[in-house]
């Protein structure tokens, strides 16, 4: 089992599926790929705190593995629908919703 490090996702490129984690204890940023995240149904967001293990890729570069969100998962970007209500204004009967 690898040592778990706590950090914060500081940058994330959703189109390319990677970003960087900055360790809470300080030090160099660590590369993170979407495949290293346990629960991929929610996309990472900058500012999200995570636990991760440090490893090296095939080229010997430092990268995060076994990444897990701490606490609440990041909110996925959602489009909010606004309900629009129309009214009829009749001086004798008042205001009536359509």
pTM of the model: 0.68
Range of the domain at 32: 4-69
Q: Which residue has the tokens 């360790």?
A: 23
CATH number, residue 31: 2.40.50.140
Within-domain flag for 74: no
Quick one: pLDDT at residue 86? 54
Residue 76 lies in a domain: no
Q: Quick check: is 10 in a domain? A: yes
The pLDDT of residue 80: 42
Distance between CA atoms of residues 84 and 97, nearest Å: 11
Map residue 36 onto helix, strand or coil: helix
- Please list the ranges in the chain whose pLDDT falls under 70: 1-3, 40, 72-98
Domain count, the chain: 1
Beta-sheet strands, E only, within 14-56 = 18-23, 30-33, 49-56
The residues, ordered by sequence, that sit 6+ positions from 4 with a Cβ below 8 Å of its Cβ are 51, 52, 53, 66
């Amino acid at each position: 089992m690898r040592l778990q490090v706590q950090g914060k996702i500081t940058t994330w490129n959703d189109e390319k599926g990677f970003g960087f984690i900055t360790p809470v204890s300080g030090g160099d940023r660590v590369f993170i790929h979407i495949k290293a995240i346990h629960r991929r149904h929610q996309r990472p967001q900058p500012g999200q705190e995570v636990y991760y293990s440090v490893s090296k890729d095939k080229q010997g570069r430092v990268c995060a593995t076994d990444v897990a969100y701490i606490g609440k998962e990041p909110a996925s970007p959602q489009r909010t629908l606004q309900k629009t209500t129309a009214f009829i204004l009749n001086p004798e009967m008042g205001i009536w919703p359509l």
